[in-house]
Amino acid sequence: MFRQQDAIRALGTAVIAASPELAEVLDRHGLTLDPATGEVVELQPFNALMSKRGVQVRRNLDRLEAKWHEAHPGESIGPVVASRLRAEAWAYERPAKKPTTLGDEAAWVTELRAAGYDPDTLQRPTPIALVSLDDLSVQVVASRTLDRCAAAASAWTAHTVTEHATRIMTEYGVRATPAEIRDFITVVSRLALEDCFTILPPDAPRPEYVAHWTSVRVMQAETDLRDLITARVPDDEPAVPDVQELAQSAGLDAGQAEAAAALASTDPLVIVEGAAGSGEDDDARHRNHRK
């Protein structure tokens, strides 16, 4: 769900940033829409001051991240956990909107001017050369999409592909309608996924939330790393404890039970591979339970 939300947010930003109508309206008022970010350039310096909600969310996120680090000493927050914490930070004690507070345009302008905004002294940036979707190569965007997926993780979901494809398209600074953007992202995402393959068994279910897509380049890098680690495995490996009873009571399948046994051993280095969302966290929890 969190990966799908990131893709939806990316598409929303892309539609705003690429909107010819919004850019025209802003231009009539002496303002500039940055097509690569969706920001109004002249108002950007006031974002932090005007975004009281953003300050509150940042405080919530800092608190949640500190709590997570306290519960997981020595670990780093991954992309899945980071997305979940961001969602919790936004949802925590979300204040109700008060229509009496800055409820009209004049009140907003008053607060903006108090923050230092003066439309009579604005210095507009040099116009950015606009790009149409016809100027973009679908193959190039698809290739960059996979590069970005691989830079963040060894496996990903289709939603992650869509998110990165959308953000990359936006970075080019295009002007296009929402329908044109959706069509372009659909083609790019499909092309990128055609160069991916699943790490799940052929007969395994493939729910959307499981990160099971990867690429040949990623697998080659993992193979090289695995070979290096294997070359350093000692001849006498530590004994693996019997955790079958605990595994059965916890509902682990055969692969998870084998991983749990390895984690419960005295081996100083244990590597558990699998598609994200397929149960590695369950293994770790049951390993801690046994200890």
Q: What are the extents of the domains in the chain?
A: 1-27+128-215, 37-125, 233-290
Percent of the chain with pLDDT over 70: 87
Binned at pLDDT 50, 70 and 90, residue 277 comes out as low
Q: Which residues pair with 213 in a beta bridge?
A: 156, 198
Is the distance from CB of 137 to CB of 42 less than 8 angstroms? Answer: no
Q: For residue 53, what pLDDT is reported?
A: 65
pTM, full prediction: 0.65
Is the distance from CB of 261 to CB of 246 less than 8 angstroms? Answer: no
Q: Is the pLDDT of residue 97 over 60?
A: no
Is the distance from CB of 237 to CB of 267 less than 8 angstroms? Answer: yes
**The two structure tokens encoding residue 145:** 């999409």
Q: Is the pLDDT of residue 120 over 90?
A: no
Q: For residue 167, what pLDDT is reported?
A: 94
Least confident segment among 28-32, 46-50, 208-212, 251-255: 46-50
Q: Rounded to an integer, what distance in angstroms lies between the CA atom of residue 231 and that of residue 208?
A: 36
Binned at pLDDT 50, 70 and 90, residue 2 comes out as low
Binned at pLDDT 50, 70 and 90, residue 148 comes out as very high
**Greater model confidence, 139 or 53:** 139
Average pLDDT, the chain: 84
- Rounded average pLDDT over 185-191: 98
DSSP secondary-structure letter at 104?
S
Binned at pLDDT 50, 70 and 90, residue 218 comes out as very high
Q: Is the pLDDT of residue 17 over 70?
A: yes
CA distances from 207 to 13, 24, 195 (A): 26, 42, 19
Is the distance from CB of 156 to CB of 213 less than 8 angstroms? Answer: yes
Binned at pLDDT 50, 70 and 90, residue 102 comes out as very low
